[in-house]
Structure 1
Amino acid sequence: MAEIDHIVIGARTLEEGADYIEAQLGVRPTQGGAHPGIGTHNMLLSLGPQSYLEVIAADPDQPQPTQARPFDLDDPAVAMMLEAGPHLLAWVARTPVLDAVVTRLGTSQAGEVKAWSRGDLTWRMAFPPQRQDMRNLIPPLIQWDDGKGAAPRLKKSGCKLVALEAEHPDAEQLREALRQRGLDEALKVRRSPHPRLVARITRPDGSEVALSSG
């Protein structure tokens, strides 16, 4: 069974991303670290005991990576969007059986499994090939080597992810793709002319904020 691990906010710089999250949620994310060889670094904010928010940006202290940075950060359209300000880009789902899912779906659908690290955290991820992720609504899959991941390590923020919603012209195809990954109940899916991911989050004062990818 897979479940929501975290949501991803893209930004030109971590400072811009942290300012945006603080303005939206009233809490500033804390420093995460660099992803060696990937060309990115991040900041994190707890959204409950099992999920969190990641602000990710290109790391100016790393050389240009040999492959594209994750979450389409090198895509010209995404870069232009982030010029206007940080933006919800994607979500990531956690599974304890990554290899089995990738074997069943094939790398043409699930992507190739690759190892990542940040400090003493290590994990493996499989990103759906570009143009097959239904505009980032089909999530990358992650399996943490310690079985727990980053969420339990984060300080409570008072923020909570209460719902994740997806909109797409072909809602049934999206539902089927999520079902194949054990994510039937992870988020609400509805038909809409324009693909969009919406994260509904409660602030420490109890008010609700909706972050949207479109």
Structure 2
Amino acid sequence: MAEIDHIVIGARTLDEGARYIEDLLGVKPSRGGAHPGVGTHNMLLGMGAGCYLEVIAPDPAQPEPPHPRPFDLDDPSLRTMLEAEPRLIAYVASTPALDAVIARLGPSHAGEIKAMSRGNFAWRMAFPPQRQDMDNLIPPLIQWDGERAGKHIRDSGWRLSALEAEHPDAQALRGALGDRGLGDAVKVRPSPHPRLIAQLRHRDGREVTLTSA
């Protein structure tokens, strides 16, 4: 069984992404770090021990990576959208059985596993091949080496209360999520246009909706 590990906010720069989150949620994300060789860096906002929010942006301190940046950050249409405002662009799911899932689905569908680390954290991750992720609605899968990062990020008081996905081929999306053990984690419904929706709730009762479109 997989579960939501974190949601991803794309931004043109980390400063813009941090301001967006602070204006929206009333708390500034903390510094994360760089993803060497990937061409990105991030900031993090804790949402309880089991989940967090990641702000990700191209890292100007790194050379252009040999492969496209994750989450379609190099896509011209997404870049244009992020010039207007940071936004929800994706999510990542955690599984304790990454090797088994990739072996069952095959790397051509679920992606190849890559090992990554930063500081005291180490993890392995598999991104669906580009253009096979149904507009970022099929998430990358991550398996942490030890405790998940969410347990070590300062709690903001916000929680992910629901994650929803809309797509013209809702049946195919629902099947792909079920294959990854996410059948109960994401509510899927048909819609003419793909869209990811995250519902956040603060312990003081405030609610915020993030959408990818």
Q: Which residue does the alignment assign to 2:39?
A: 39
Q: Which residue does the alignment assign to 2:114?
A: 114
> In structure 1, how many angstroms separate the alpha carbons of the residues matched to 2:16 and 2:204?
23
The one-letter code sitting in structure 2 at the alignment partner of 1:180 is: D
Once the two structures are TM-superposed, the CA of residue 120 in structure 1 deviates from its matched residue by 2.1
Q: Which residue does the alignment assign to 2:128?
A: 128
SS of equivalent residue, structure 2 residue 78: helix
> In structure 1, how many angstroms separate the alpha carbons of the residues matched to 2:202 and 2:40?
27
Q: Which residue does the alignment assign to 1:27?
A: 27
SS of equivalent residue, structure 1 residue 162: strand
SS of equivalent residue, structure 2 residue 71: helix
Aligned pairs for 1:48-127 (under 5 A) are: 48-127=48-127
Once the two structures are TM-superposed, the CA of residue 205 in structure 1 deviates from its matched residue by 3.4
Report whether the alignment pairs 1:187 with 2:192: no
Q: Which residue does the alignment assign to 1:154?
A: 153
The answer as to whether partners of 1:6 and 1:53 remain within 8 angstroms in 2 is yes
Once the two structures are TM-superposed, the CA of residue 69 in structure 1 deviates from its matched residue by 1.0
Once the two structures are TM-superposed, the CA of residue 79 in structure 1 deviates from its matched residue by 1.0
Q: Which residue does the alignment assign to 1:205?
A: 204
> In structure 2, how many angstroms separate the alpha carbons of the residues matched to 1:119 and 1:60?
21
CA RMSD of aligned residues (A): 1.0
TM-score with structure 1 length normalisation? 0.97
SS of equivalent residue, structure 1 residue 68: coil
How many pairs does the alignment contain? 213
Once the two structures are TM-superposed, the CA of residue 204 in structure 1 deviates from its matched residue by 5.0
Bigger shift: 197-206 or 123-132? 197-206
> In structure 2, how many angstroms separate the alpha carbons of the residues matched to 1:200 and 1:48?
15
> In structure 2, how many angstroms separate the alpha carbons of the residues matched to 1:159 and 1:43?
16
- Identical columns (%): 67
Q: Which residue does the alignment assign to 1:178?
A: 177
> In structure 2, how many angstroms separate the alpha carbons of the residues matched to 1:58 and 1:79?
10
> In structure 2, how many angstroms separate the alpha carbons of the residues matched to 1:44 and 1:29?
5
SS of equivalent residue, structure 1 residue 67: coil
Query: 1:144/1:185 Cα in 2 relative to 1: closer, same or farther (>3 Å)?
Result: same
> In structure 1, how many angstroms separate the alpha carbons of the residues matched to 2:131 and 2:63?
27
The one-letter code sitting in structure 2 at the alignment partner of 1:144 is: W
Once the two structures are TM-superposed, the CA of residue 151 in structure 1 deviates from its matched residue by 0.1
Which digits, 9 at most, give the CA deviation of each residue in 1:2-57, with x for residues without a partner?
00000000001111000001111111100011111111110000112200000001
TM-score with structure 2 length normalisation? 0.97
> In structure 1, how many angstroms separate the alpha carbons of the residues matched to 2:68 and 2:110?
17
The one-letter code sitting in structure 2 at the alignment partner of 1:153 is: H
Which digits, 9 at most, give the CA deviation of each residue in 1:146-171, with x for residues without a partner?
1x221000111111110001111111
The answer as to whether partners of 1:37 and 1:62 remain within 8 angstroms in 2 is yes
The answer as to whether partners of 1:201 and 1:208 remain within 8 angstroms in 2 is yes
> In structure 2, how many angstroms separate the alpha carbons of the residues matched to 1:176 and 1:61?
40
Bigger shift: 198-207 or 74-83? 198-207
SS of equivalent residue, structure 1 residue 189: strand
SS of equivalent residue, structure 1 residue 71: helix
Q: Which residue does the alignment assign to 1:142?
A: 142
The one-letter code sitting in structure 2 at the alignment partner of 1:8 is: V
> In structure 2, how many angstroms separate the alpha carbons of the residues matched to 1:180 and 1:104?
9
